[in-house]
Structures are given as C-alpha cells and as structure tokens.
Chains A and B, each alone.
Chain A
Amino acid sequence: MTDFVTPQEMAEMIPSGCKLGLAPDDYAAAPGLVRMLIDRGIRDLHVVCAPIGGMQVDMLIGAGAVATLETSAVSLGEAGGAPCFSRAVRDGSIRLRDATCPAVFAGLTAAEKGVPFMPIRGIIGSDVLKKRDDWKVTSNPFDDSEQIVVVSAIQPDIALFHAPEADRFGNVRLGRRRETMLLAHASKRAFVTVERISEVSLLEDEKTAAGVLPAIYVSAVAQLKNGGWPTGLYAEYPRDGQEVEKYARAARSPEGFQAYIRGSRSAA
C-alpha cells in the first residue's frame, strides 16, 4: 500500500543514517523535499547518486548531512563545479566512493534482480577500480582468457525522487526516465514527490502504461508542486539557471552557503 502524506511528513519518514538513492538534476531530482530534509537536520546519510549528483547533493553535503557519497560525478552543469562537494573532498569530511555511471546502473540492476553482483565491460586499468573494494576483476567463467569486472549489488534503503504525476492508487508516471524506474526497483522503498495526483489510474491507458512505476514499489507519495525547482523536471519544466547560478556563487564559502539556505525557501 502506498501512503499519501504531506511533504513535511515524508521528510520525517526518511531517517538519519539511511542509504538514500537520488536521481540526477534535470531528470527526477527532488530538491524541494531535500530542502525539508536539511531543515529538519538529517545526518549521516549514505547517498547513492543514480548515477550523478548536482545541486540537491551539494546542498546535503553543505548542510553536513552526508557521511558517505557514492557517485560518478557531482556538478552544477552550466553553473560549474559543486562548491560544497569540492570543499568536503578537500577537508575529508565525507567518505567517497567514486564510480562510473554504468557501474552504478549495473549495481542497481543486480539489486533489482536479487543477485549479488553484475559483470560489466571496461573499467580495468582505471584508478576508479583500484579505490573500490566492492568491485573485483574476475575471469569470464565461460572463457578463462577474458578478464571482466564485477560490481556488487547496490540496494538503497530509500529512493527519493520527483515525478510529474501519480494516481490515487500510488502508481507513478516516469515516462522515458527509466533509470529512475531502475532506482525504484532496486531500492527497498521509494518515496516520491509529484506535481499532480490523478483520479484516473495511470495504468488504464495502454499507450502510457509502460512508463508507469507500479504502486508495488512506491511506499509514499506527496504532492509538492515545483518540487523539482530549481533544477528542473524532465519534459515538464527546465532548470531555473539564474537560481542555480545564485546558489553556485553563494556556496563558494560555508558562510555564503548558510546564508543561501536561510534566505531561500524550498518550493513548498
């Protein structure tokens, strides 16, 4: 059963210390809800970026909410580097697990299928591999002459993302953003903020049903208009480039970051 809750209630349902899977900016990121997590003082998160992070991840780091960060990159796109992330790397305040995008997808796919690992091409000879004790090089069991990387399954406790629409049965329309579908499948629970809630089942129309995440995976839905602001929601609204720029400038110093958080409200 999917619970329908307020955004504030959803923020309370995400505990400190959990392994939290997040979608990329501009696709299905949930910066609106993330701001509420920061406001309530969440701590010690193991953040899994599926597969990269942006402004919402940088804000979580700046707020001191992240203990471990598993990601293929953190960037603010056209607004440049992620300032809180860079600072945290320099002063060693987060534990880093650098990845490469398809290895994150492979780890999530393993969790989705309930198997312990997944093989993946490439990566051999990269320092990314050397720094990961949960990735290994093995020989192909069907051809001993070939070396191949295997990555262990990634199963977040909670996937948190923003989507255009849910129905009142808990089904969520993701459309083409199937990496978000994978994140939800791989995670123990999915919490979703949405722009709209439909009275009609999203599974009713065969033309769009394949782009719908069934309620089986969805633990909670909260309506949060503009919940993707300021980084945008795929095919719904673009990022607010000026706001992200404003953040990028402010967050260059810890004091500027704190002032930004105090002075700007979340979209709710």
Chain B
Amino acid sequence: MSEACTSRELMIYTISRLLKGVRHVAVGQSSPMPAAGAMLLRALNERDGVERVQVSILGSVKHNSFTGGAEELFDCAAQGRLDAFFLGGGQIDGRGNVNLVGTGDYPNNPVRWPGSFGSAYLYFLVPRVILFREEHSLRSLVERVDFVSAPGVSDETVYRRGGPHALLTNAALFSFDREAGRFRLESTHPGYSWRDIRGTTGFAYDNEQCEVVTPAPDEATLALIRGRIREELRECYPQFAGNMPGPG
C-alpha cells in the first residue's frame, strides 16, 4: 500500500474531474494545483484513449504552444477557443464575485494581494471557470467581497458566455447556478462534515446538509500524480513539486 492520498492530491484529482470533456484548458501564473489537475486530465485521457486535451500552462516553455505572446490566450478566450480556466481569489463571495486586489478600502488596502490579472476579462468569456481557493475560511469565503476584480453574474446587456462553474477548496466542492447566482454544496472532503462547511463559509448556499463525500483517486491515478504529473510540474513549480509525495 502506498502513502494515503493527501489533501492536495484529492484537490488535483477533483480538478481533473471538473475538467472532464474540455478540449482546451489554460492555467494562469502561480497555480500549481490547477496546472497539476489539467496535466492529470491530459494524462488520463491519453491512457484511456479518449479525446486529446490541449493544456496551456502560462509561464511554461514545454506545456504551452502559443506563439502569439501572452495576448494569444485572451484572443483565444474571446473567440471561444478556450473551454476552461481557473481563478483564485483572496475573497470569493456567494454571488461568485472574486477579489484578487485586497481587503478594506481601495486604493490603500491594509492587506494588498497581487492584483486582478486577467480575471475581469476571462470570467466573461471562458465557459468553465473553476474557482480554486485552498483556504476554506470565513475570511476567504465571504458574504460580500471588499473589491470586485471580476463579477460572478451580469445582466443581459453585457456580452457574457463564461462564468463560475465550481468552487473547490481544501474542505469542499460547490457548483454554481448561474440563473440563481448561488453556490450549491456538492460534496465535502474526507474529514469534513456539512456542519464544518456551514461553520466556515461566510455566504449562503444551497444543499447545506450535503452528505456526499468527495471521491478520492484510485491507486493508478495516484501513481500518475506522484510520477508523471510531479515531473511535469517541476519546470514551472519546482518548490511545489519537490514537496509532493513521490519516488525519489
């Protein structure tokens, strides 16, 4: 028996499940777990002989085929050539708004995060945006974000074919209903109950008393994460890859 599946491996596997069926997924800067999840989907599809998935990792030389510079990702998104992307967020609220800028009042935020990156654009154009935030807490999942880097929903005067698809944390998985503009609890990770999730989530959501447990990867999938995926991650995320379980 190998070492048990870690919390991060469960999230990587869950990301690969959320991406099922996409043709092209892109991953932004500073996103090792989304990158790992996309690489895992690619590896699983190759293994199972199903449709090849294009993975574009920003910052990578090996796992990025764009030749038009950093703008090409955004042009691809606007044309509908990109099916999935990831956004983090220092704060995420119950309407799917994300805040990548900081807490308190702008511009002199007492806590400042890096910035909005491409969120204010990609959130409108990429059909499956997966919100990923490792920390599941009352300070990260809030009733109302302090700054809207990118809004979760828009009215019909705004061109929009993309938006939030799911929210994944270290404790639970939610889906997002774009009509209602609300999250729905889909499963809790092993070790967390629905009561834990209710107590650490700052916004209202549907299906509060969810008893479904997030499924863990099987042995073969876990071996892929610890082998091929860990190696593929090394180019852009040497520290992260170095901290993952694996041979040698």
B112 touches A85 (CB 8 A): yes
Residues of B within 8 A of A181 (CB): 69
- Is A18 on the interface with B (CB-CB < 8 A)? no
Complex interface bits, A113-137 against B, C-beta within 8 A gives 1, otherwise 0: 0000000111111111101000000
- Is B94 on the interface with A (CB-CB < 8 A)? no
Residue from A98, A102, A105 with most neighbouring chain B CB atoms (10 Å): A102
Complex interface bits, A66-106 against B, C-beta within 8 A gives 1, otherwise 0: 00000111110110011001100111100010111111010
Per DSSP, chain B at the interface is: loop
Number of A-B contacts (CB under 8 A): 149
Q: Among B59, B116, B154, B237, which residue has its beta carbon within 8 angstroms of that of A128?
A: B116
- Is A51 on the interface with B (CB-CB < 8 A)? yes
A121 touches B159 (CB 8 A): yes
Complex interface bits, B118-148 against A, C-beta within 8 A gives 1, otherwise 0: 1111111100000000000000000000011
Interface size class, chain B:
35 or more
Bound CA–CA A99/B100 (angstroms): 12
Q: Among A90, A125, A178, which residue has its beta carbon within 8 angstroms of that of B67?
A: A178
Bound CA–CA A266/B67 (angstroms): 31
- Is B37 on the interface with A (CB-CB < 8 A)? no
**Complex interface: stretch among A31-39, A144-152, A187-195, A196-204:** A144-152
- Is A216 on the interface with B (CB-CB < 8 A)? no
B159 touches A125 (CB 8 A): no
Q: Among B30, B107, B113, which residue has its beta carbon within 8 angstroms of that of A96?
A: B107
Residues of A within 8 A of B237 (CB): 78
Q: Among A86, A131, A178, A179, which residue has its beta carbon within 8 angstroms of that of B112?
A: A86
A: residues with CB less than 8 A from B are 24, 26-27, 51-52, 71-75, 77-78, 81-82, 85-86, 89-92, 96, 98-103, 105, 109, 120-129, 131, 145-148, 176-182, 234-235, 241
B: residues with CB less than 8 A from A are 29-30, 59, 61, 66-72, 74, 78, 100-102, 106-125, 147-151, 154, 157-160, 237-240
The 7 closest A-B pairs by CB, nearest first: A178-B69, A73-B115, A122-B124, A102-B74, A125-B151, A179-B69, A75-B114
